[in-house]
Amino acid sequence: MAPVTTSTYDHLLAIRQQRGAGFIVLIDPDKLPADELPRFTLLCAEAGVDALFVGGSLLHAPAFDAYLRSLRDVTELPLIGFPGSLSQLSAELNALLYLAVISGRNPEYLIGQHVHAAPVIRRLGLEPISTGYMLIESGRATTAQYMSHTMPLPRHKPDVAAATALAAEMMGMRLLYADGGSGADQTVPEDMIAAITEVCTTPLVVGGGLRTPDAIARKVQAGASFIVVGTAIEQRPDLGYVTDLAAAVHDTADVPETPMPSSG
């Protein structure tokens, strides 16, 4: 795998600076067998995907390290952990989203699990990217909501989401992530995205239930810095389809006139 010359976080900022917004595909090892990785990652590279998130809420698949090694062998895209548990920490990742579920009030997912994870992350030499993670009401209970024992933010309260995101920014989070959850019935509302980006300069990641180029374009126009798609591509791993999704991100976004904040 070609080395990333800067930190993975700076690499993401560079994507945002150069392309206006970034397109990230989420790979769930429980849903994508290792023998399908060469075909899937080639599709992602050809379609214009910028990075890969890897992880899941449950992760029943064995040998996570081996799975990631297989993934590294077939792609040069950055591999960023999107962990649902401590078992999803691996030195094979380029970086890890160090997630705090700021939409809820469960201390285990605000600081508890982080205390257990921190020494392991340090020992593995992983780059942690502190991320304020907000579950957004999406029409039904999601796996992430159930597993984290937290309530999502109400989708009709953009002011609450904006205040929550601003608090995370003031606490030093380097990414914000508004997520409807895997296979969500309803996506994160555009007025909520706009409310967050109006008060925050921290890059905003948006995912959950995104299935069409039009829906993706609306999120980018509202202010999303990165778009994440998982389930839709698992169900339709077609080059033309994924290319259209990537184009909706890159062609809709306005390239910033001034540099994004650096990690330092």
Of all residues in the chain, what percent are helix, strand and coil, respectively (each to 5)? 40, 15, 40
Beta bridge partner(s), residue 23:
227
- Whether 90 contacts 67, CB under 8 Å: no
- What is the pTM (predicted TM-score) of this model? 0.93
pLDDT tens digits, 183-231? 788 999 999 999 999 999 999 999 999 999 999 999 999 999 999 999 9
Write b or e for each residue in 218-237: b if 16 or more Cβ atoms lie within 10 A of its Cβ, otherwise e: bbbebbbbbbbbbbbbbeee
Q: Has residue 106 been placed in a domain?
A: yes
Helix intervals (H) in 37-79: 37-47, 64-74
Confidence of residue 257 (pLDDT cuts 50, 70, 90): low
Q: Has residue 96 been placed in a domain?
A: yes
CATH code where residue 102 lies = 3.20.20.390
Question: What was the pLDDT predicted at 3?
Answer: 46
Q: Could you tell me which residue, 33 or 139, shows the higher pLDDT? A: 33
Least confident of 25-34, 149-158, 175-184, 254-263: 254-263
pLDDT tens digits, 45-95? 999 999 999 998 777 766 999 999 999 999 999 999 999 888 899 999 999
User: Is the confidence at residue 134, as pLDDT, over 50?
Assistant: yes
Q: Has residue 213 been placed in a domain?
A: yes
Q: Has residue 76 been placed in a domain?
A: yes
What is the mean pLDDT of the segment spanning 33-56?
Answer: 96
Q: Which of 188, 187, 178, 182 is nearest to 235 (CA)?
A: 182
- Whether 92 contacts 68, CB under 8 Å: yes
Q: How far is CA 125 from the centre of its chain?
A: 21
Give the separation between CA 48 and CA 253, rounded to whole angstroms.
Answer: 14
Q: Has residue 78 been placed in a domain?
A: yes
Structure tokens, 217: 């374009």
Number of domains the chain contains: 1
Contacts for 98 with CB less than 8 Å, ≥ 6 apart: 114, 117, 121, 128, 129, 130, 131
Rounded to the nearest 10 degrees, how much is the dihedral formed by the CA atoms of 46, 252, 244, 242? 60
Q: Has residue 132 been placed in a domain?
A: yes
Question: What was the pLDDT predicted at 147?
Answer: 83
Question: What was the pLDDT predicted at 253?
Answer: 80
Least confident of 92-101, 139-148, 188-197: 139-148
Question: What was the pLDDT predicted at 263?
Answer: 52
Give the separation between CA 26 and CA 57, rounded to whole angstroms.
Answer: 12
Contacts for 240 with CB less than 8 Å, ≥ 6 apart: none
The domain containing residue 103 runs over which residues?
A: 8-250
What is the mean pLDDT of the segment spanning 26-35?
Answer: 94
Q: Percent of the chain, pLDDT > 90? A: 82
Q: Has residue 264 been placed in a domain?
A: no
- Whether 78 contacts 111, CB under 8 Å: no
Q: Has residue 260 been placed in a domain?
A: no
- Mean confidence (pLDDT) of the chain: 92
DSSP assignments along 90-142, one per residue: -TTSSEEEEEEETTS--GGGTTHHHHHHHHHHHHHT--EEEEEEEEB--SS--
Residue with tokens 């999803």: 88
